[in-house]
Structures are given as C-alpha cells and as structure tokens.
A and B are shown apart, each in its own frame.
Chain A
Amino acid sequence: MNKSSRKVMSFTGGIHPVSAGKKLTNTHAVHTAPLLERYTVLVQENAGKAPEVIIKPGDKVLKYQLLAKASGFVSANLHSPTSGEVAGIIEVPGPMGVPALAIDIRSDGEDRETDPFEPIPDWRSAEPQLLLDRVADAGLVGMGGASFPTRVKLTIPPGKKVDTLILNGAECEPYLSADHRLMLESPCRVLEGAAIIGHILGIDKIYIGIEINKHDAIAELERFSEDYGIKIIPLQVQYPQGSEKQLIHAIVNRVVPPGGLPADVGCVVQNVGTAAAVSDAVTLGIPLVERIVTVSGKVLKDPGNWKLRIGTPVIKAIEFCGGVTDEPSKLILGGPMMGFAQNSYEVPISKNTSGVLLFSRRRALNYRSGSCIRCGRCVQGCPMGLCTCLLATAIEGGRIDLAEQNHVMDCLECGSCAYVCPAHRPLVQTLRLAKAEIRRQRAAAAKANSGK
C-alpha cells in the first residue's frame, strides 16, 4: 500500500513534545541482561491489592516459581525471576517514592527453571476461560504503565458488550523505544498475543495503533498481520496518542463518556508488551518475569533497550549501559511525561517499568513556577478538553468543589498541560492533589452512607 496516501488517524488536543530522545535508543537491538547476584522483587507489582507472599525467608526457589499468590480479583501472581534462595522480605525504595516491601532473592547462578504451566500451542481450539485462567496464573499486568491486572481488563463486566480490541503500539512518550523494538524484533509474538486476547474476548475486529515515526515497525507487522486478520493503523505522532481514550477516539472514533471505561464503548485496549507476554504465557507456558526496558538519557555512556528481569535494581540497569558520563540530576522510571522521578538508585524494575531515564542538570531544569497568564495553551493541549489553568487556580484557591464540577476527575495526568505551560506551573501535580482529595471525600461520603 502506498504509505503517503494512507489516512493517518489522531485525536483532538494533545501536544508534540521534542521527539529527539527516541533516536538515542530506537536503532539499538534489545540486549538480554546478564544474570545478577541479587534481585529485589516488589511484592506489589500490580494496581489493586497486593498479592499474598507464599514463600518464607530461607526457601529455595526456582525460576518461574510462584512467589506470591493473587489475593483477590484485582491482584496478580508474582513469580521468581531466577533460581536461588530467598534472603528475606525487606523494605526497598519503591517506585512511588515511599519504601515498599520486596522479596530479596539471592541468585545461585544456575538459573534453573521449573515448568509452571503446560504450553497451549493450539489455543485456537482451546476454551476462552482456560486461556483467561492462564493469563491470570502467569501474573500478567498491563505493561504500558498502569499495571492493572490483565485478567480484570479481559473480564468484561456483565451487561457490557465489546466488539473491538485495540493494541496500543503508539509509544507516544519521548525517549521510550521498548515497544518499538519489541514490535520490530518479534512481530509474531505481538500478533499472536493479540489474536489470543481476541479469542478470549470472542472478538475478531483487532487493530494495532502505531505512531508513524515507527514506520519500520509498521512495515514489519504488516508483513504478518494478514495471517492473523489484524489491521495495523498508522497514527499521527502526537502525545498522548497511547492513552486508552485517545487511542479509541483516533482508531474507531468513539468517545468514552466521562468517568467511563473503554468497555462502555465496546472497546478493550491492551499494550503490545502485554500482548507479547500473553503469547509467551499461552504458547510457551512461561509467566511474566522479564520485560524490555528502555534505559536512556544523554548522560548514559551507551543507552539502549534491555531485557531486564523484574527486581533488577535500577543502578544495575545503568551499569549495563556502561555507566554515566556526567553526574545525573534526575532519575525517572517510565516515560518523561508520565513517569515518576525517583530519589534512589536501588528502586527495582517492575512489570510496568517501560523506561529508566537519566537526565543531566541541564535537561532537568530547576525552574521556578510563576503566575498563570491565562494564555490557554494548556487548554489547547489537554486531550480531555479540560480547562486546566482554571482548574488549577480553583484548587490553589481552595475551591476543590469548583474543580470537581468542572470535571477534574477526567484528567489523565498525561502532563501535556505542564509541558506547554510557559509559566512552568505544576498543573498536573495540583490536579492530582484535587483528584486524591475528591476520591477521599467520595470514599468518606460512601462510608457515611453505608453506615446509615
């Protein structure tokens, strides 16, 4: 097909962040990290409830062995990244800035595997429920960033009907190229995973949305996509193209209602990384214990994409890249727009860590924020159509009720507003504060109501 004549889809709003950062890593093939002596696997890798740890300090574990069992519906299993001994359950610096519990595994260097699951190579004739159970058993979570258990996302609430599966290969965050490399290097795993998810949901309309700056990945996927009956949709390079609601809008032109879920408009969105993991779990029978992580930043000697096991401390990932050339002043896990700044290099890689980014003093400017000048750039940039500047002013003035009336809860926290703000106002942070406060108030109100 002629590329130039193709319609390139997009959504309304959004921004165009400097995309030069991708060039640091997007031509580097994925390396597999050497075995480490020690892994600190976070107990809570998933959104929702933490799983229940089923091993004790001193236990010998094998690779892929179950470490923690899902403790409810919104919870996920956790498996060992290598074989060795459990040294203890300790507190390590967590990715959210507060210490988190982790299982300290001392590797025995042998990396002996256990076979936790039976591979299902002919999944097309398998029961969907069997495949869904496998997805749950393998501890899959959304690998795009939210780490929501995949099983929950693939269980359609009663009364809702879905007809479209969308795979998110947009990778709209600057610097990150992990999904790009994944699609380029193992397109069949991604496509197979998508087909399996489609089979679980009973859907045959499957799209993969990819930003057009990854034209090689688009070409690679299109070589095989017809065999699976999957459509590849090129998308405009625009942030946040990879957000669920924006992706749905761009590809099938449906709008998720405020406070709603993609299932409300008949869609399910999954990350391409999750699809590859689904493929591994079903066809090979291996749980999720490693992922591709972009380790990037100008201060790194040799930035690249690495296949890292969960529990790898960030400092090791930096060492794999040959260390740093200059003193870094900011470490971010995830993308530069939505990722979280860290204050320790001991933070472990988890199932949803798509990137490890290091910024020099110059790149991570220590700016001062000024007053809002009502220029409206944040309003133009907001993909959800929120009036961010006025929301932030209202919140700063203590009028959280006003912010709630004006749909602050619809904020994606994508960071577009803060990125374009010429006054460097901490808009996302302010909105997050209000969202947390509103959630607290609603929970308190619900509690008071149930008490009556």
Chain B
Amino acid sequence: MKYLELTVGAVLVYNFVLSRFLGICPFLGVSKRVSTAMGMSGAVVFVMTLASAITAAIYRYLLHFTLGGVTYDLGFLQVLLFILVIAALVQIIEIVLQKLSPALYQALGIYLPLITTNCAVLGVATLNAKANYSVLDATIFGCFSGVGFALAILLFSSLREKLELATPPKAFEGTPIALVTAGILAMAFCGFAGLC
C-alpha cells in the first residue's frame, strides 16, 4: 500500500513537471517530436533512479555517521555531493548515448548535459533527503518521479506534434501556444489532487 501511494503520488498527483513545476527546461526544449521526447524520458528515468539510490545512500550513510565515537553531521555538503553524483551520471549517459545512438544524441543536443542542472533530478534527491526515505523507498520514488516526467513530456510532445499542424494566430506560433498548452495540461493534472 505504501508503495502504491508512493508510485501513484509520484506519477500523477505530485507530477514533477505539471504539479511541482520542476524540469520545465527539457519539458519545453525537447518536446517537439515524440521520438526525441522518448529518448529524453529514458535518460531522465535512468538518471533519476540511479541518482535517487546513490544520493539516498550518501545521505544516510555518508553525511551522518559516527566514527570513533565522534558524530559527524555533514548536512551542509548535501547539495554539493548530490550535484557531483548527478553530474557524473549524466556524463556517463552522454558518453554511452553518443556511442549507441548518435541520432538521439544530436536531437537531444544541449539538453542532455543540461540534465545535470535539471532541477527535477536535484529536486528528487532533495525531496528524498527531506522525507528521509530509506534507500529502497528513495529508489522507487526516484524511478516513478522519472516516469511522471516521461508521462508529462510524452503527452506534451504528442500535443505539440498536433499543434505544429495547426494554424494559430501569428503571435502564438511556436513557443507561446506550447506554453498555453502546457498550462492547460497542468490544470488537467490538478484533477488528480487528493488521490493520495
């Protein structure tokens, strides 16, 4: 039951993009094509899951520990360490992707290294720390937060593929109409509030 709450909450109720407004940058940047959006979601799910697991472990066992009778509280290092881990993970993904799928690497462009500074990833790590989740809980929460991000960006990219064919007024063409759509999508997700 606890895990159901955790997952449904992460995907729908507290959707990272549409409820918490984290990770907006890639949400707008790489949502022009469903295929690119899928690549991005895959990368983000991977980074968020791993980052959650590692950062939770670091938070639990590395930032608060007792060594030789002295208790060390390194809480002030939290953000620094989290970013370090995330940056390394993103670097690894970038290297792997460039080798395995150069087309996707091209399509993601600058947004791939920018996962490092993607607030969604740092956000999930910080939220894990704040809620003091166990490593398993944090991993599940991180993974499904990533799934929530994937859901949002996939929905949005499908909408944008349709929007591309529409003929809005000149002033609304491109990003403006995309932002309006994102707003309406976020409102739709408000409907899940109170589910858990």
Contact = CB atoms under 8 A, between A and B. Distances in A.
B167 A399 contact: no
Given A393-B165, A397-B164, 7 more contacts: A371-B167, A393-B166, A394-B165, A396-B165, A397-B165, A399-B164, A399-B165
Nearest to A397: B165
Interface in A39-69: none
A352 B111 CA distance: 60
Interface of B: 164-167
A371 B164 CA distance: 15
B50 to A, nearest CB: 35
Nearest to B167: A371
Contacts of B165: 393-394, 396-397, 399
9 contacts: A371-B167, A393-B165, A393-B166, A394-B165, A396-B165, A397-B164, A397-B165, A399-B164, A399-B165
Contacts, number: 9
B100 to A, nearest CB: 25
A89 B99 CA distance: 65
B13 to A, nearest CB: 31
Nearest to B165: A397
A118 B164 CA distance: 65
Interface in A374-410: 393-394, 396-397, 399
A371 B168 CA distance: 11
B32 to A, nearest CB: 13
Nearest to A399: B165
B51 to A, nearest CB: 36
Contacts of B167: 371
A396 B165 CA distance: 8
B25 to A, nearest CB: 26
A396 B164 CA distance: 11
Interface centre among B165, B166, B167 (most CB of A within 10 A): B165
A331 B167 CA distance: 34
A397 B163 CA distance: 10
The 8 closest A-B pairs by CB, nearest first: A397-B165, A393-B165, A394-B165, A397-B164, A399-B165, A371-B167, A396-B165, A393-B166
A399 B167 CA distance: 14
A101 B8 CA distance: 72
A394 B166 CA distance: 9
Contacts of A396: 165
A103 to B, nearest CB: 48
Contacts of B166: 393
Interface in A169-213: none
A419 to B, nearest CB: 23
Nearest to B164: A397
A387 to B, nearest CB: 12
A394 B164 CA distance: 9
Nearest to B163: A397
Contacts of A394: 165
B34 to A, nearest CB: 11
A333 B164 CA distance: 38
Contacts of A397: 164-165
A401 B166 CA distance: 17
Nearest to A395: B165
Nearest to A394: B165
A397 B167 CA distance: 9
Contacts of A399: 164-165
Interface in A203-262: none
Contacts of A393: 165-166
A399 B164 CA distance: 10
A399 B165 CA distance: 8
Contacts of A371: 167
A396 to B, nearest CB: 7
B58 to A, nearest CB: 46
Nearest to A398: B165
B81 to A, nearest CB: 46
B14 to A, nearest CB: 33
Contacts of B164: 397, 399
A136 B165 CA distance: 48
A399 B32 CA distance: 14
